[in-house]
Protein backbone atom coordinates (compact mmCIF):
# COMPACT_ATOMS: atom_id res chain seq x y z
CA UNK A 1 0.00 0.00 0.00
CA UNK A 2 1.56 3.34 -1.02
CA UNK A 3 2.06 5.88 1.72
CA UNK A 4 2.19 9.01 -0.48
CA UNK A 5 -0.80 10.40 -2.37
CA UNK A 6 -1.15 13.52 -4.50
CA UNK A 7 -4.29 15.38 -5.49
CA UNK A 8 -4.58 18.34 -7.88
CA UNK A 9 -7.43 20.83 -7.77
CA UNK A 10 -8.11 23.97 -9.80
CA UNK A 11 -9.20 27.26 -8.23
CA UNK A 12 -10.62 30.01 -10.43
CA UNK A 13 -9.48 33.62 -10.40
CA UNK A 14 -12.79 34.84 -8.98
CA UNK A 15 -12.60 32.46 -6.06
CA UNK A 16 -9.01 33.43 -5.36
CA UNK A 17 -9.63 37.18 -5.44
CA UNK A 18 -12.67 36.83 -3.19
CA UNK A 19 -10.60 34.83 -0.72
CA UNK A 20 -7.91 37.53 -0.80
CA UNK A 21 -10.50 40.29 -0.21
CA UNK A 22 -11.96 38.38 2.73
CA UNK A 23 -8.44 38.05 4.08
CA UNK A 24 -8.00 41.84 4.35
CA UNK A 25 -10.24 42.30 7.44
CA UNK A 26 -8.79 39.12 8.87
CA UNK A 27 -5.32 40.59 8.43
CA UNK A 28 -6.38 43.81 10.16
CA UNK A 29 -7.74 41.81 13.11
CA UNK A 30 -4.50 39.82 13.26
CA UNK A 31 -2.39 42.98 13.32
CA UNK A 32 -4.40 44.70 16.04
CA UNK A 33 -4.79 41.51 18.05
CA UNK A 34 -1.05 40.84 17.86
CA UNK A 35 -0.27 44.39 19.01
CA UNK A 36 -2.59 43.90 22.00
CA UNK A 37 -0.92 40.55 22.73
CA UNK A 38 2.56 42.08 22.58
CA UNK A 39 1.54 44.98 24.80
CA UNK A 40 -0.03 42.61 27.36
CA UNK A 41 3.02 40.35 27.25
CA UNK A 42 5.32 43.18 28.34
CA UNK A 43 3.14 43.71 31.41
CA UNK A 44 3.14 40.09 32.55
CA UNK A 45 4.34 39.52 36.07
CA UNK A 46 7.78 38.08 36.69
CA UNK A 47 6.97 35.85 39.66
CA UNK A 48 10.64 35.55 40.52
CA UNK A 49 10.45 39.16 41.78
CA UNK A 50 7.55 38.23 44.05
CA UNK A 51 9.35 35.10 45.25
CA UNK A 52 12.46 37.12 46.12
CA UNK A 53 10.40 39.13 48.63
CA UNK A 54 9.48 36.05 50.68
CA UNK A 55 10.69 35.58 54.26
CA UNK A 56 13.10 32.69 54.65
CA UNK A 57 12.13 30.18 57.36
CA UNK A 58 14.08 27.16 58.50
CA UNK A 59 12.70 23.77 57.45
CA UNK A 60 13.67 21.99 60.68
CA UNK A 61 10.75 23.33 62.74
CA UNK A 62 7.71 25.53 62.30
CA UNK A 63 8.32 29.20 63.08
CA UNK A 64 5.05 30.49 64.52
CA UNK A 65 6.37 34.06 64.62
CA UNK A 66 6.07 34.23 60.81
CA UNK A 67 2.47 33.07 60.83
CA UNK A 68 0.40 34.85 58.17
CA UNK A 69 3.47 36.03 56.23
CA UNK A 70 4.72 35.20 52.78
CA UNK A 71 7.56 32.70 53.32
CA UNK A 72 9.86 30.33 51.49
CA UNK A 73 11.18 27.09 52.91
CA UNK A 74 13.81 24.76 51.46
CA UNK A 75 14.01 21.16 52.57
CA UNK A 76 13.37 17.53 51.77
CA UNK A 77 9.95 16.73 50.31
CA UNK A 78 8.16 13.77 51.91
CA UNK A 79 4.76 12.17 52.33
CA UNK A 80 3.34 9.45 54.53
CA UNK A 81 1.12 8.18 51.70
CA UNK A 82 1.92 5.59 49.10
CA UNK A 83 0.56 6.08 45.60
CA UNK A 84 0.99 4.47 42.17
CA UNK A 85 -0.86 4.64 38.87
CA UNK A 86 -3.35 2.02 39.93
CA UNK A 87 -2.20 -0.34 37.17
CA UNK A 88 1.43 -1.37 36.85
CA UNK A 89 3.57 0.96 38.99
CA UNK A 90 3.67 -0.28 42.54
CA UNK A 91 2.55 2.22 45.22
CA UNK A 92 5.39 4.05 46.90
CA UNK A 93 6.05 7.31 48.73
CA UNK A 94 5.57 9.46 45.67
CA UNK A 95 4.24 12.99 46.04
CA UNK A 96 2.96 12.81 42.44
CA UNK A 97 2.97 10.24 39.61
CA UNK A 98 2.43 10.79 35.88
CA UNK A 99 1.79 7.87 33.46
CA UNK A 100 2.32 8.40 29.74
CA UNK A 101 1.14 5.88 27.13
CA UNK A 102 2.50 6.13 23.57
CA UNK A 103 1.04 4.21 20.65
CA UNK A 104 2.81 3.32 17.44
CA UNK A 105 0.36 4.72 14.91
CA UNK A 106 -0.11 6.24 11.48
CA UNK A 107 0.45 9.99 11.24
CA UNK A 108 -0.80 12.01 8.26
CA UNK A 109 1.30 14.91 6.99
CA UNK A 110 -0.21 17.32 4.48
CA UNK A 111 1.65 19.75 2.20
CA UNK A 112 0.09 22.00 -0.45
CA UNK A 113 1.77 23.94 -3.25
CA UNK A 114 0.09 26.31 -5.69
CA UNK A 115 0.96 27.06 -9.32
CA UNK A 116 -0.60 30.11 -10.98
CA UNK A 117 -1.95 30.01 -14.51
CA UNK A 118 -2.35 32.75 -17.08
CA UNK A 119 -5.66 34.44 -16.34
CA UNK A 120 -5.41 34.26 -12.56
CA UNK A 121 -6.48 30.68 -11.89
CA UNK A 122 -4.27 28.30 -9.93
CA UNK A 123 -3.59 24.60 -9.69
CA UNK A 124 -3.24 23.45 -6.08
CA UNK A 125 -1.22 20.29 -5.55
CA UNK A 126 -1.67 18.58 -2.18
CA UNK A 127 0.59 15.73 -1.10
CA UNK A 128 -0.49 13.43 1.74
CA UNK A 129 2.25 11.40 3.38
CA UNK A 130 1.63 8.67 5.95
CA UNK A 131 4.30 7.60 8.42
CA UNK A 132 4.38 5.31 11.44
CA UNK A 133 5.49 7.10 14.60
CA UNK A 134 5.25 6.93 18.37
CA UNK A 135 2.64 9.39 19.58
CA UNK A 136 0.75 9.92 22.83
CA UNK A 137 -2.29 11.15 20.89
CA UNK A 138 -2.95 8.88 17.89
CA UNK A 139 -5.28 10.39 15.28
CA UNK A 140 -8.65 8.96 14.37
CA UNK A 141 -7.86 7.33 11.04
CA UNK A 142 -11.41 7.94 9.80
CA UNK A 143 -10.43 11.60 9.40
CA UNK A 144 -7.53 10.74 7.07
CA UNK A 145 -7.78 11.66 3.41
CA UNK A 146 -6.80 8.09 2.53
CA UNK A 147 -7.73 5.91 5.52
CA UNK A 148 -7.51 2.61 3.68
CA UNK A 149 -4.45 0.75 4.86
CA UNK A 150 -3.74 3.40 7.52
CA UNK A 151 -6.13 2.42 10.30
CA UNK A 152 -5.18 3.26 13.86
CA UNK A 153 -6.59 1.08 16.63
CA UNK A 154 -7.93 3.01 19.64
CA UNK A 155 -5.48 3.70 22.43
CA UNK A 156 -6.06 0.90 24.95
CA UNK A 157 -4.76 2.80 28.02
CA UNK A 158 -5.01 6.51 28.76
CA UNK A 159 -2.52 8.84 30.37
CA UNK A 160 -3.11 9.63 34.01
CA UNK A 161 -1.70 11.62 36.93
CA UNK A 162 -2.03 10.95 40.65
CA UNK A 163 -1.08 13.23 43.57
CA UNK A 164 -0.89 12.55 47.28
CA UNK A 165 -3.41 14.35 49.45
CA UNK A 166 -0.76 15.70 51.83
CA UNK A 167 2.99 16.20 51.88
CA UNK A 168 5.67 18.16 53.71
CA UNK A 169 8.72 20.17 52.85
CA UNK A 170 10.74 19.94 56.03
CA UNK A 171 8.33 20.58 58.91
CA UNK A 172 5.83 22.56 56.80
CA UNK A 173 2.90 20.83 55.13
CA UNK A 174 1.41 21.67 51.73
CA UNK A 175 -1.30 20.35 49.44
CA UNK A 176 0.19 18.52 46.40
CA UNK A 177 -3.15 18.71 44.57
CA UNK A 178 -3.34 22.53 44.59
CA UNK A 179 0.30 23.64 44.67
CA UNK A 180 2.11 24.11 41.37
CA UNK A 181 4.47 21.15 41.21
CA UNK A 182 7.89 21.13 39.53
CA UNK A 183 8.85 19.11 36.48
CA UNK A 184 8.64 15.44 37.45
CA UNK A 185 11.57 13.05 37.18
CA UNK A 186 11.75 9.87 35.11
CA UNK A 187 11.12 6.70 37.11
CA UNK A 188 13.56 3.86 36.51
CA UNK A 189 11.49 0.70 36.11
CA UNK A 190 12.42 -2.72 37.39
CA UNK A 191 10.75 -5.80 38.78
CA UNK A 192 10.92 -4.15 42.20
CA UNK A 193 8.51 -1.33 41.38
CA UNK A 194 6.52 -2.78 38.45
CA UNK A 195 3.78 -5.39 38.56
CA UNK A 196 2.75 -6.92 35.23
CA UNK A 197 -0.26 -9.19 34.64
CA UNK A 198 0.50 -12.90 34.26
CA UNK A 199 -0.99 -14.50 31.13
CA UNK A 200 -3.73 -17.02 31.89
CA UNK A 201 -2.64 -20.57 31.09
CA UNK A 202 -4.35 -23.88 30.73
CA UNK A 203 -2.28 -26.86 31.89
CA UNK A 204 -2.64 -30.25 30.17
CA UNK A 205 -0.39 -33.27 30.60
CA UNK A 206 2.95 -32.56 29.03
CA UNK A 207 2.01 -29.16 27.59
CA UNK A 208 1.55 -25.57 28.65
CA UNK A 209 -0.91 -23.59 26.52
CA UNK A 210 -1.58 -19.87 27.05
CA UNK A 211 -5.06 -18.54 26.50
CA UNK A 212 -4.03 -14.92 25.89
CA UNK A 213 -4.27 -13.42 22.43
CA UNK A 214 -2.67 -10.50 20.69
CA UNK A 215 -6.02 -8.76 20.19
CA UNK A 216 -4.97 -6.15 22.79
CA UNK A 217 -1.47 -4.93 23.55
CA UNK A 218 -2.34 -5.10 27.25
CA UNK A 219 -2.67 -8.87 26.96
CA UNK A 220 1.07 -9.39 26.85
CA UNK A 221 3.05 -6.66 28.63
CA UNK A 222 6.78 -6.95 29.17
CA UNK A 223 9.38 -4.81 30.91
CA UNK A 224 11.29 -3.84 27.77
CA UNK A 225 13.80 -1.46 29.42
CA UNK A 226 14.35 0.69 32.49
CA UNK A 227 12.14 3.34 30.86
CA UNK A 228 9.30 1.43 29.17
CA UNK A 229 6.74 -1.27 29.66
CA UNK A 230 5.99 -2.68 26.20
CA UNK A 231 2.83 -4.27 24.88
CA UNK A 232 1.99 -5.60 21.42
CA UNK A 233 3.09 -7.96 18.69
CA UNK A 234 6.38 -6.20 17.95
CA UNK A 235 9.26 -5.05 20.08
CA UNK A 236 10.74 -1.78 21.26
CA UNK A 237 13.18 -1.73 18.34
CA UNK A 238 10.76 -3.12 15.71
CA UNK A 239 7.30 -1.92 16.72
CA UNK A 240 4.07 -2.62 14.88
CA UNK A 241 1.07 -0.34 14.40
CA UNK A 242 -1.07 -0.55 17.52
CA UNK A 243 1.77 -1.44 19.91
CA UNK A 244 2.14 0.65 23.07
CA UNK A 245 4.87 1.68 25.44
CA UNK A 246 4.28 2.94 29.00
CA UNK A 247 6.57 5.28 30.92
CA UNK A 248 6.37 7.02 34.31
CA UNK A 249 7.47 10.28 35.88
CA UNK A 250 7.20 11.08 39.57
CA UNK A 251 8.21 13.34 42.43
CA UNK A 252 9.67 10.91 44.96
CA UNK A 253 10.15 11.54 48.65
CA UNK A 254 13.59 12.77 49.62
CA UNK A 255 13.83 15.31 46.79
CA UNK A 256 15.21 18.70 47.82
CA UNK A 257 12.82 21.49 46.85
CA UNK A 258 11.73 25.02 47.82
CA UNK A 259 8.12 25.94 48.51
CA UNK A 260 6.67 29.47 48.33
CA UNK A 261 3.41 30.35 50.05
CA UNK A 262 1.65 32.00 52.95
CA UNK A 263 2.25 30.41 56.34
CA UNK A 264 -0.91 29.46 58.25
CA UNK A 265 -0.30 27.48 61.47
CA UNK A 266 2.49 25.35 60.05
CA UNK A 267 0.86 24.82 56.63
CA UNK A 268 1.70 26.60 53.40
CA UNK A 269 -1.15 28.02 51.31
CA UNK A 270 -1.56 30.30 48.32
CA UNK A 271 -0.14 33.80 48.74
CA UNK A 272 -1.76 36.81 47.00
CA UNK A 273 0.18 40.07 46.84
CA UNK A 274 -1.37 43.58 46.88
CA UNK A 275 -1.49 43.52 43.07
CA UNK A 276 -3.63 40.36 43.16
CA UNK A 277 -0.86 38.06 41.92
CA UNK A 278 -0.98 34.57 43.43
CA UNK A 279 2.10 32.44 44.11
CA UNK A 280 1.95 28.90 45.45
CA UNK A 281 4.82 26.95 43.92
CA UNK A 282 7.12 24.06 44.69
CA UNK A 283 10.39 24.12 42.73
CA UNK A 284 13.42 21.87 42.72
CA UNK A 285 16.64 23.03 44.38
CA UNK A 286 17.46 25.70 46.93
CA UNK A 287 15.87 29.14 47.16
CA UNK A 288 18.20 30.86 44.69
CA UNK A 289 17.82 28.04 42.17
CA UNK A 290 14.05 28.16 42.54
CA UNK A 291 13.95 31.95 41.97
CA UNK A 292 16.20 31.57 38.92
CA UNK A 293 13.87 28.88 37.57
CA UNK A 294 10.88 31.20 37.90
CA UNK A 295 12.76 33.96 36.09
CA UNK A 296 13.86 31.62 33.28
CA UNK A 297 10.26 30.50 32.82
CA UNK A 298 9.19 34.13 32.57
CA UNK A 299 11.91 35.00 30.05
CA UNK A 300 11.23 31.95 27.88
CA UNK A 301 7.50 32.61 27.74
CA UNK A 302 8.07 36.29 27.04
CA UNK A 303 10.28 35.62 24.01
CA UNK A 304 7.94 32.94 22.68
CA UNK A 305 5.00 35.37 22.79
CA UNK A 306 7.11 38.09 21.19
CA UNK A 307 8.02 35.81 18.32
CA UNK A 308 4.44 34.65 17.86
CA UNK A 309 3.16 38.24 17.97
CA UNK A 310 5.60 39.54 15.35
CA UNK A 311 4.88 36.50 13.18
CA UNK A 312 1.14 37.17 13.32
CA UNK A 313 1.73 40.82 12.41
CA UNK A 314 3.78 39.66 9.42
CA UNK A 315 1.00 37.30 8.35
CA UNK A 316 -1.59 40.06 8.74
CA UNK A 317 0.45 42.46 6.59
CA UNK A 318 0.80 39.88 3.83
CA UNK A 319 -2.97 39.32 3.95
CA UNK A 320 -3.48 43.07 3.45
CA UNK A 321 -1.49 42.84 0.21
CA UNK A 322 -3.37 39.70 -0.84
CA UNK A 323 -5.77 41.35 -3.33
CA UNK A 324 -2.91 43.18 -5.04
CA UNK A 325 -0.92 39.96 -5.30
CA UNK A 326 -3.96 38.21 -6.77
CA UNK A 327 -4.37 40.93 -9.40
CA UNK A 328 -0.70 40.65 -10.32
CA UNK A 329 -1.12 36.87 -10.42
CA UNK A 330 -3.23 37.34 -13.55
CA UNK A 331 0.18 37.10 -15.21
CA UNK A 332 2.06 34.32 -13.36
CA UNK A 333 5.53 35.87 -13.52
CA UNK A 334 4.19 39.23 -12.29
CA UNK A 335 2.38 37.49 -9.45
CA UNK A 336 5.53 35.63 -8.38
CA UNK A 337 7.56 38.84 -8.38
CA UNK A 338 4.83 40.72 -6.51
CA UNK A 339 4.52 37.95 -3.94
CA UNK A 340 8.27 37.91 -3.38
CA UNK A 341 8.36 41.70 -2.98
CA UNK A 342 5.44 41.57 -0.53
CA UNK A 343 7.16 38.81 1.42
CA UNK A 344 10.37 40.84 1.69
CA UNK A 345 8.84 44.26 2.36
CA UNK A 346 6.37 43.14 5.04
CA UNK A 347 9.05 41.47 7.17
CA UNK A 348 10.92 44.67 8.20
CA UNK A 349 7.58 46.45 8.63
CA UNK A 350 6.42 43.68 10.97
CA UNK A 351 9.68 43.82 12.91
CA UNK A 352 9.47 47.62 13.18
CA UNK A 353 5.81 47.64 14.23
CA UNK A 354 6.20 44.74 16.64
CA UNK A 355 9.40 46.18 18.10
CA UNK A 356 7.74 49.55 18.60
CA UNK A 357 4.81 47.99 20.44
CA UNK A 358 7.22 45.95 22.58
CA UNK A 359 9.25 49.04 23.52
CA UNK A 360 6.14 51.09 24.28
CA UNK A 361 4.59 48.25 26.28
CA UNK A 362 7.75 47.63 28.27
CA UNK A 363 8.18 51.35 28.98
CA UNK A 364 4.61 51.92 30.09
CA UNK A 365 4.51 48.79 32.27
CA UNK A 366 7.75 49.47 34.11
CA UNK A 367 8.01 52.58 36.26
CA UNK A 368 11.82 52.77 36.18
CA UNK A 369 11.85 52.41 32.40
CA UNK A 370 9.14 55.05 32.17
CA UNK A 371 11.07 57.51 34.32
CA UNK A 372 14.36 56.92 32.53
CA UNK A 373 13.28 55.86 29.06
CA UNK A 374 10.90 58.68 28.18
CA UNK A 375 13.38 61.50 28.96
CA UNK A 376 16.10 59.54 27.23
CA UNK A 377 13.98 59.12 24.10
CA UNK A 378 13.18 62.84 24.07
CA UNK A 379 16.85 63.68 24.56
CA UNK A 380 17.85 61.44 21.67
CA UNK A 381 15.29 63.00 19.35
CA UNK A 382 16.25 66.54 20.38
CA UNK A 383 19.90 65.69 19.73
CA UNK A 384 19.03 64.33 16.29
CA UNK A 385 17.11 67.48 15.38
CA UNK A 386 19.97 69.68 16.58
CA UNK A 387 22.49 67.74 14.50
CA UNK A 388 20.27 68.04 11.43
CA UNK A 389 19.85 71.78 11.98
CA UNK A 390 23.58 72.26 12.49
CA UNK A 391 24.37 70.28 9.36
CA UNK A 392 22.00 72.44 7.31
CA UNK A 393 23.60 75.68 8.57
CA UNK A 394 27.16 74.67 7.66
CA UNK A 395 28.13 76.26 4.24
CA UNK A 396 29.17 73.69 1.71
CA UNK A 397 32.54 74.12 0.04
CA UNK A 398 33.19 73.73 -3.63
CA UNK A 399 30.83 72.92 -6.46
CA UNK A 400 31.04 69.25 -5.72
CA UNK A 401 29.15 69.70 -2.45
CA UNK A 402 25.87 70.27 -4.23
CA UNK A 403 25.59 73.87 -2.99
CA UNK A 404 26.81 77.32 -3.93
CA UNK A 405 28.81 79.79 -1.80
CA UNK A 406 26.94 82.70 -0.32
CA UNK A 407 26.54 85.61 -2.76
CA UNK A 408 27.65 89.16 -2.01
CA UNK A 409 25.01 91.88 -1.85
CA UNK A 410 24.31 93.33 -5.27
CA UNK A 411 25.17 96.98 -5.94
CA UNK A 412 22.23 99.11 -7.02
CA UNK A 413 22.17 99.94 -10.72
CA UNK A 414 22.42 103.67 -11.32
CA UNK A 415 19.51 104.99 -13.37
CA UNK A 416 20.11 107.36 -16.25
CA UNK A 417 19.23 110.99 -15.73
CA UNK A 418 17.96 111.20 -19.27
CA UNK A 419 16.05 109.04 -21.66
CA UNK A 420 18.16 106.24 -23.10
CA UNK A 421 19.06 106.43 -26.74
CA UNK A 422 17.05 104.46 -29.25
CA UNK A 423 17.88 100.86 -29.71
CA UNK A 424 19.01 101.47 -33.25
CA UNK A 425 21.82 103.81 -32.24
CA UNK A 426 22.76 102.35 -28.86
CA UNK A 427 25.95 100.42 -28.55
CA UNK A 428 25.22 99.06 -25.06
CA UNK A 429 22.15 97.58 -23.42
CA UNK A 430 20.45 99.72 -20.74
CA UNK A 431 22.51 98.32 -17.87
CA UNK A 432 25.36 99.61 -15.81
CA UNK A 433 28.43 99.36 -18.09
CA UNK A 434 30.62 98.87 -15.07
CA UNK A 435 29.01 95.51 -14.47
CA UNK A 436 27.79 94.43 -17.93
CA UNK A 437 29.99 94.19 -21.02
CA UNK A 438 28.49 95.56 -24.22
CA UNK A 439 27.32 93.05 -26.78
CA UNK A 440 28.52 93.38 -30.38
CA UNK A 441 25.94 94.48 -32.89
CA UNK A 442 25.24 91.94 -35.62
CA UNK A 443 24.95 94.75 -38.21
CA UNK A 444 27.53 97.50 -38.49
CA UNK A 445 25.83 100.82 -39.19
CA UNK A 446 27.43 103.03 -41.82
CA UNK A 447 27.97 105.84 -39.28
CA UNK A 448 27.36 105.18 -35.58
CA UNK A 449 25.42 107.81 -33.73
CA UNK A 450 26.87 109.51 -30.63
CA UNK A 451 26.25 107.70 -27.44
CA UNK A 452 26.27 108.63 -23.79
CA UNK A 453 28.61 106.87 -21.44
CA UNK A 454 27.09 106.80 -17.95
CA UNK A 455 29.38 106.91 -14.96
CA UNK A 456 29.31 104.19 -12.33
CA UNK A 457 27.84 104.90 -8.97
CA UNK A 458 30.35 106.55 -6.70
CA UNK A 459 29.24 106.80 -3.08
CA UNK A 460 32.25 109.00 -2.12
CA UNK A 461 30.80 112.08 -0.39
CA UNK A 462 33.48 114.45 -1.85
CA UNK A 463 32.22 113.74 -5.40
CA UNK A 464 29.64 116.23 -6.58
CA UNK A 465 26.45 114.58 -7.61
CA UNK A 466 23.18 115.69 -9.05
CA UNK A 467 19.91 115.79 -7.24
CA UNK A 468 19.43 112.07 -7.85
CA UNK A 469 22.68 111.14 -6.09
CA UNK A 470 24.56 110.10 -9.24
CA UNK A 471 27.28 111.68 -11.35
CA UNK A 472 26.34 113.46 -14.54
CA UNK A 473 26.89 111.34 -17.62
CA UNK A 474 29.72 112.18 -19.98
CA UNK A 475 28.67 113.16 -23.45
CA UNK A 476 30.78 111.59 -26.11
CA UNK A 477 31.19 113.59 -29.30
CA UNK A 478 31.88 112.12 -32.68
CA UNK A 479 35.47 113.22 -32.33
CA UNK A 480 36.13 110.99 -29.35
CA UNK A 481 33.73 108.14 -30.05
CA UNK A 482 35.06 104.57 -30.31
CA UNK A 483 36.94 103.48 -33.37
CA UNK A 484 35.41 100.75 -35.50
CA UNK A 485 37.47 97.67 -36.05
CA UNK A 486 37.62 95.63 -39.21
CA UNK A 487 36.32 92.64 -37.33
CA UNK A 488 32.88 94.27 -37.10
CA UNK A 489 32.96 94.79 -33.32
CA UNK A 490 33.10 98.11 -31.56
CA UNK A 491 35.86 99.35 -29.38
CA UNK A 492 35.18 98.41 -25.80
CA UNK A 493 35.15 101.48 -23.57
CA UNK A 494 37.15 101.41 -20.35
CA UNK A 495 35.43 99.99 -17.31
CA UNK A 496 36.10 103.13 -15.22
CA UNK A 497 35.79 106.26 -17.48
CA UNK A 498 36.91 109.64 -16.07
CA UNK A 499 34.33 111.47 -14.08
CA UNK A 500 33.31 114.88 -15.36
CA UNK A 501 32.51 117.29 -12.60
pLDDT tens readout for residues 111-159 = 988 887 777 788 889 999 999 999 999 999 999 999 999 999 999 999 9
The pTM is what? 0.66
| 390 domain-assigned | no
The Cα 255–Cα 487 span in angstroms is 116
| 430 domain-assigned | no
Q: Which of 281, 311, 341 is the last residue of a domain?
A: 311
Both 175 and 31 in one domain: the answer is yes
Domain that holds residue 460: 447-501
Residue 174 contacts residue 95 (beta carbons within 8 Å): no
| 103 domain-assigned | yes
Give the per-residue pLDDT at 500. 53
| 240 domain-assigned | yes
Residue 94 contacts residue 83 (beta carbons within 8 Å): yes
Q: Which of 311, 328, 359 is the last residue of a domain?
A: 311
Both 306 and 453 in one domain: the answer is no
Domain count, the chain: 2
| 401 domain-assigned | no
Look at 107-111, 197-201, 232-236, 275-279 and tell me which has the smallest mean pLDDT. 197-201
| 252 domain-assigned | yes
| 425 domain-assigned | no
Look at 245-259, 311-325, 446-460 and tell me which has the smallest mean pLDDT. 446-460
Q: Which of 280, 311, 342 is the last residue of a domain?
A: 311
The Cα 373–Cα 388 span in angstroms is 23
The Cα 425–Cα 433 span in angstroms is 16
The vertex-71 CA angle with 69 and 72, nearest 5°, equals 175
| 75 domain-assigned | yes
The Cα 243–Cα 65 span in angstroms is 57
DSSP reduced 3-state for 202: strand
Give the per-residue pLDDT at 222. 93
Look at 187-201, 287-301, 378-392 and tell me which has the smallest mean pLDDT. 378-392
Give the per-residue pLDDT at 197. 85
Contacts of 464 (CB under 8 A, 6+ apart): 471, 501
Amino acid sequence: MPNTFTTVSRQGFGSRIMGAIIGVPVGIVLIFGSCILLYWNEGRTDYSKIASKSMVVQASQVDQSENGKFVSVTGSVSTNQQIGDGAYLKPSTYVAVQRTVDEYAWVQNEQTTSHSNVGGSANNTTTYTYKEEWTDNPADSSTFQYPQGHQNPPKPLNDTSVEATNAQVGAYSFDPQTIKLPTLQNVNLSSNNVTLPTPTTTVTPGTVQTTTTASSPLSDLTLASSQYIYGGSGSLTTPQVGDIRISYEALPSGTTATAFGQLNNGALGAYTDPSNHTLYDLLLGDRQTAIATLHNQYETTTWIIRGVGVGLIWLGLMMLFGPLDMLLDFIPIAGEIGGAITFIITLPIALLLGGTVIIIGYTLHHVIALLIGVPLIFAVWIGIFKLIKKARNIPKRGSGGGGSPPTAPQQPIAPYNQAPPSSSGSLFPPNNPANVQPQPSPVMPPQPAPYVQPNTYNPTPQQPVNNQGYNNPQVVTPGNQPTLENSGSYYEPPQQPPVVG
